[in-house]
Amino acid sequence: MQVTSSGQSGDNKSPYTIAIVISVLLILWLASGFIFSSSGDEEQVVEELPLPQVKVETFQSQAIINTIQLYGRTEPDRIVTLRAQVKGAITEVFAERGSFVNKGDVIAKIALNDLPAKLEHYQTLLKQRRIDYYGTKKLFSGGFQGESALAQKLSDVTDAKALLAQTQTDIDNTTVVAPFSGVLNERMVEVGDYLSPGDEIAIIADLDPLVIRAHLTENQIVQIKERQSANIHLLAHRDLTGTLRYLASVANEQTNTFKAEIAIANSNYRYRAGISSEVELPLQEINAIKVSPAILTLDEVGNIGVKTVEQNIVKFTPIQMVKSEEDGVWLAGLDDTAQIITLGQGFVRPGDKVQAIASDAKEP
């Protein structure tokens, strides 16, 4: 009886075990089907997402002359302020403001006052001291005068000569003349004005040649040389040609730049000093592409460049800006032919796969 009861108990448990195993397997089968189905659906969704579209334009490089751009103002070649060297009143004025004067032309005259009388006095004094000197020299030769007395008489002669020369110089300085040819830019005196030594009389500027003074960086100065030509654009839209006549050999300590001077022929004094100027110094020929500044962009480290498309992959290309014009900028560092993104470059990154659409293509 005990044995039979034990066997029945094992038989009763076997169907339940089988049912549980079958249920677990069924649940696992259903779950695996759901997971694989979800994964496949996601992959299908990913595959079905459209590629971002960007507009591109194909640019061809051209050979242009690379230039250095400088900015400055026209200045006189030289300018001087004439000042009174003797005291006295202005007795005559000759040149008008803004007039052209030649070297040696009289600008104004200052009263002589007692200078002629002083001149006559020192001429007489010099004559008398020379007589004393020659008399003492004869006595010295005969042994009746010492060498010290002779030296004193010679010193007296020298003093009289100096006084006479100074008086003659003062007389000459009462006539104020132009030291070089130029424009009388300003005259500060009129007849009757009383002057003391150092008072300003007039300002004369030499405008031929006219000079533009600018500054070059240490990278620029190694690319140019003295006496080379320069293209000059004045504010009044005049295109001129000048010559780089001077390059500083020592840099400015504060700015670490080198001073340069560009001379412009101005024989007829047509151009004035103080006009804003742009200077182009031509360098070597270089291949470059002209684009709108709007398509320029920066990479993650701040390099300036453009985004191009090669085989539907976005690429960032660093560039070098060669020159700037009113309708665009010239860039070097690209291939002879480049497919540049002109619209949408801000929404894609290097390495992204995109659909490139030509800029001239019609919208669908």
Whether pLDDT at 36 is above 70: no
Whether pLDDT at 345 is above 90: no
Query: What is the domain-level CATH number for residue 97?
Result: 2.40.50.100
Q: Do 152 and 188 lie in a common domain?
A: yes
Cα angle for residues 273, 276, 280 (degrees, 5° grid) = 110
Most confident of 7-21, 207-221, 323-337: 207-221
Structural domain ending residue among the three candidates 148, 172, 201: 201
Q: Do 241 and 348 lie in a common domain?
A: no
Categorize the per-residue pLDDT at 31 as very low, low, confident or very high, splitting at 50, 70 and 90: low
355-364 long-range contacts (CB < 8 A, ≥24 apart) are: 355/50, 355/51, 355/52, 355/53, 355/54, 355/312, 356/53, 356/54, 356/55, 356/56, 356/309, 356/312, 357/53, 357/54, 357/55, 357/56, 358/55, 358/56, 358/57, 358/58, 359/55, 359/56, 359/57, 360/57
Whether pLDDT at 51 is above 60: yes
Most confident of 52-56, 86-90, 356-360: 86-90
Q: Specify the higher pLDDT residue, 236 or 258.
A: 258
Question: pLDDT (tens digit, 9 = 90+) per residue, 283-334?
Answer: 888 888 888 888 888 888 888 899 999 888 999 989 888 877 878 888 888 8
Indicate whether 363 belongs to any domain. Answer: no
Q: Do 100 and 180 lie in a common domain?
A: yes
The conformation of residue 179, written as its DSSP 8-state character, comes to S
Contact partners, residue 115, CB within 8 Å, separation at least 6: 86, 167, 170, 171, 174
Indicate whether 37 belongs to any domain. Answer: yes
Identify the H or E element spanning 27: helix 2-48
Identify the H or E element spanning 71: strand 62-83
Q: What was the pLDDT predicted at 6? A: 43
pTM listed for this prediction: 0.64
| Mean pLDDT calculated for residue range 71-86 | 94
Q: Do 234 and 167 lie in a common domain?
A: no
Give me the number of domains the chain comprises.
4
Q: Do 86 and 189 lie in a common domain?
A: yes
Range of the domain at 167: 82-201
Indicate whether 364 belongs to any domain. Answer: no
| Mean pLDDT calculated for residue range 119-145 | 90
Categorize the per-residue pLDDT at 364 as very low, low, confident or very high, splitting at 50, 70 and 90: very low
Whether pLDDT at 43 is above 60: no
Structural domain ending residue among the three candidates 284, 312, 334: 284
